[in-house]
Structure 1
Amino acid sequence: MAVSATGQVFQFGGFTLDLGKGTLSRADQPAFLRPKAYALLTHLACHIGRVVPKSELMDTVWPGVFVTEDSLTQSVREIRKVLGEERVRTVSKRGYMLVPETEAVPESGAQPIVAVLRFRNDGADPANQEIVDGFAEDIINGLARFGTVTVLARNSSFSFASHSPAEWPAIRSRIGADYLVEGSVRRQAERIIAAVSLIDAANSAQLWGDRYQAEAAGLFAIQQDIVEQIVGRLVVKVSNAGLTRASRRPVTSLASYELVLRGVALMRDPAQSDLKAAAALFEAAISKDPSYGLAHTYLALSHVLNSEFGPTSSSVLAKARDLAERGIALSPDQATAHRIQSLVRLSMRDHPAAEHHLRIALELNPGDAECIEQMGHLLTMRGRPLEALSWLARAIRIDPLNPHWYQYDRSLALYMLGEYRPAAEALELATRPTPWIRTRLAACYAQLGNMEAATRQAALINAGGFDFSPVDYATTVVPFENAVDADHLVNGVLLALGRRR
């Protein structure tokens, strides 16, 4: 494999590698490597942030020549002597990685941390709970658009109820919230009546409170006003730009909004056992309001999701892509629309498009935990697991009581870095071990050399009567961009199954 990178310039750790000039320098002072070490660094730089297998490095630097791994080890040692030990990372049983200058992940710093508690349903009908939860979640999304506050994600903040003031002091220590938003919603036909308060978590003192009412078309306007009132009391100056950009075309009926919320609730079920019912709800919402962008967006998501992470046909993915595109056309300023289009494109293995849409989502809502977490997963799929872990750690800080998939995605990034033990520990947290989770666990234990545990997990993959192929899953379902990353997972699975390629 020849390296054809003339004209490329790489910068890392204060060093500049200019492939056009054939030089390595630091602060304009030359740094010297022998030819083989320089060729090795060149190939690592061309794949910076990716784990490059030893066999690939040896074929590149010593083409057509038989050498032992000692030659590779000596060249790596020479590079480390010049660049520093931490710049070239050894990944157990895989190869080496030139550590990139990682992208800065948005951090909260000294910003106030806000938790929006689950609102009370003050109506007589318990079936309106999805409307109540959706109203509060829209406030979370509105707050997350501001760089001046950190808002905790729904999964963590909804663990506490607005009607339990006795719990408020404990929330600060449990999830780190400085301020709480609590309230209640009553639905009367097409009218919403809401009461909202801002609470200082340190002393349970109310800092602000107000009462609102609106018909369906005015629902989002009062949500925006609530967000502005909250942010305005937590920071010195509020920029309305975030609210203006976040404005959405209102739904024409509360019924359409409710149908979407009910469908989303079904998809949030960890078992995801009723995706057809969720899709039917989104289709009904579109029938009532064809201009409701998020209904199209979530219908696209329902087509992509599979309860046991099985393969999705190209025709279904194409339909999901078109639906997601329609959702973006109708709601271009909704981060969720771009985030789900990113997931669809990732399933189609269109990795550049997936990253493009996800970065738009993050521009629209930089504090959204689901967008941040999904960026971690996407970077793992693109062969950049070290960067992925930074994004995943940030998502977990925003959502300390995070949903199960945060740890599953973190475990895969760890696996790709050869950190098999913490990868297995993350998967062991699963309360409902599915066939694909057991497949990954078996691969982790096999890579650790714990064949007893690997064999036990492999034997349980189809114990529940499933017809699941762990090899097909590792080979075709997980959307890796690079074949070498897919091979790494496949090799672990085959090892656990006692099979060879």
Structure 2
Amino acid sequence: MYFFADFVLDTDRAELRRSDGPATRLRPKTLELFKLLVQNSHRVLGKEELMEAIWPGIHVGEDSLFQCIREIRVALGDARREMVQVISGRGYLFALDVTTEPAASGTTEPRQQETKPDRKSRRGLSLVAVAASVLSVMALIGFALHGNSLFAPSRVVVVLQPIVDTDASPEGVALARDIASELIKGFSRIDGIHLIVREGEAVPALHGGAALDLRYELKRDPLNWILQARLIDTANQEIQAVAEASASEADRQRLMQRLAAGIGYPLGLRLSDLQEPEERAATPSAVAIRQAVASINQTTRERFGMARAILEQNLAENPDNVELQIALAGLHLRGMQMNWYDPAQSAVAEQDAAALLKGALASRPRSLPVLDASCRFLTVTNQFTESLVVCARALTVNPWDGTALYNLGLTQLQLGRFDDALASFLEAERYDTPEVSRWTWLLGAGWANLLLGRDEEAATFLQRSIAITAGSGRPYLLLAAAYQRLGRAREAREALAKAMEIRPGSTARNVALPTRNASNTFLAGSNAIIHTLMEIGLPSGTPR
């Protein structure tokens, strides 16, 4: 046995124990690698050396090594990569003092390396390493709720100027008035900004600082209404953001909401960025994330493995990169939803995703991408009480965020609140922002209608969702059930066949969502859908 800090690595039992927590079982290769690292404490071990020692005479990719390293870090609760450190260009180092006898008292801290500590790592709250995912989730929620008061600078002043209506028709005047009202309502919901609504043209004199002046113009061409906006720093007249939205909805209420959300969402994103502790420079992580996304767009297990290898390699080299943390956490969730992890791997992936998002929230508590990722994580892992809180928090950063509304609706759906869920999905559909997530709230609206027994409406929404993307194949499964209930048996079989192409090996058992914390109302409705799919030809299994 090996002792370090308050851990015991028991190689006979293949587990890591902590004085204040349960034991964590380790896979054989992970245990071998862990043992090698602790036996060489404070010594840098190269990747090739490690791979040759753990997989002698066998050619394996670096992703196998990265996976073992990640499992070790998850077991240690080493979200900050302080215990198992990556030494750029050289390899890995275990930074704790190790003995083969239990320490009399005290704990051992990681030694500082010769390189200077990253200044960013000193910013904000220090993170306490935890092994249990429940503690990571508690910390994640804490940062989501209170991070703004800990990290945010002074409130941003936004001066909302009157809309310039170039159309000048009675219809244009009325539309401009309604859009202004909608924008005032939306921006008033954003935490951390002080909103001033101007009736005249002059920017007000502000005590102690400048403001961001929001100027916008409403135009009309033969086909669309167009709303253009600019966010200008009044101190130097520098343009901080520009946005444009166009719409041609026949219903004036929908037209107004589409136009307001079309500029409100991107401007809200920019305001969120401006309230972060410091501006961020572009990093190579964007390339890695694009490569990873390209690898999973075809929704195959092999592409998933490629994407994970890309992200893990880049995160090993840039452990504090928030974009990479979010991307890898999201990829873990995709693997869990597509059943690409076995149960043991899924548990590790959930813990890792929680730790990654905890670190991301500590660095950027007001970041909408971080809050959206946390909202999705809590929804996917059926932590519904917590997801309601964090998704609502995301909407106080950007009220037009359809991603948060979708996950909020998905939570409400599984709590048996079908009408509330449908309202959330339809609100996201009215805003239609961000466009990349459009298929999700259409899927949600179809799902809610199906559970409410409105099969025709369900089919319409699901067809619209599939026209954008088939996603994980779930839209086709739900559409097959809707068609079958409508008596359209041939189309039902065709939809099920397309779902099986995307999700080979699907059965009545593994297509259902996890049942943990779900309401009996939702479970009954979900089982009814699965029985309908079995009538069409879904391979048998016991619905959960």
Output the TM-score relative to the length of structure 1. Answer: 0.49
Q: What TM-score results when the alignment is normalised by the length of structure 2?
A: 0.46
